[in-house]
Amino acid sequence: MRRLFAVAISAGAFILAATPAAAGAPVREPVPTPPPFVVDGACPFGVGVQTTLNSEYTISFTDASGNPVKQITTGHLVVILSNVDSGKSLTVNLSGPSIFTANPDGSFTLEFLGPQAGVIGGFFVLGAGRTVFQIAPDDTMTVTQVGHFRDLCALLA
């Protein structure tokens, strides 16, 4: 699912590969901290991403067959985003919740709320607001975004 937010720093996208839980009560699980990585191709330089604080967790809801129908990821997430060439960096709070909703027709929605960062349309953005990815069963994608977003490449140049 990383095709959605080329760098889904709000850890919600990492949860999409979770296995179905047994039907019944919602299940709460901690989100694993990803190892440091570099995002190439979105800026004229690589962007290093290192998690410094992660207390995020995901609450998974299932249908009667035990298939995930909704996952909500929330908690505290702080990362360092850096220009790997110059060393210039920003420490950012990306604690906005994310909500994944699966639909019976095979479509799904991934919604990021609050502080967030990611590559959208070839631009690496940093900001706060609401970003919604709607993916149809044929993999066509619609993206809507409202809020205040800035060009991360310019901030790290």
pLDDT tens per residue across all 157 residues of the chain: 222 243 343 334 334 444 444 567 899 999 999 999 999 999 999 999 999 999 999 999 999 888 889 999 999 999 999 999 999 999 999 998 999 999 999 999 999 999 999 998 888 999 999 999 999 999 999 999 999 999 999 999 9
Cα dihedral: 154, 11, 130, 44 (round 10): 20
**How many structural domains does the chain have?**
1
Cα–Cα distance for residue pair 11/46, rounded to 1 Å: 20
Q: Has residue 28 been placed in a domain?
A: yes
| Nearest Cα to Cα of residue 147 among 98, 113, 97 | 113
Q: Has residue 6 been placed in a domain?
A: no
Q: Has residue 71 been placed in a domain?
A: yes
Q: Identify the pLDDT of residue 96.
A: 86
Q: Has residue 2 been placed in a domain?
A: no
How would you write 82-145 as a 3-class SS string? EECCCCCEEEEECCCCEEEEECCCCCEEEEEEEEEEEEECCEEEEEEEEEEEEECCCCCEEEEE
Q: Has residue 4 been placed in a domain?
A: no
Q: Exposed (0-12), middle (13-18) or buried (19+): which is 44, by Cβ within 10 Å?
A: exposed
Q: Exposed (0-12), middle (13-18) or buried (19+): which is 94, by Cβ within 10 Å?
A: buried
pTM of the model: 0.81
Q: Has residue 105 been placed in a domain?
A: yes
Q: Identify the pLDDT of residue 38.
A: 97
**Residue 31 is part of which domain span?**
11-156
Q: Has residue 100 been placed in a domain?
A: yes
Q: Has residue 5 been placed in a domain?
A: no
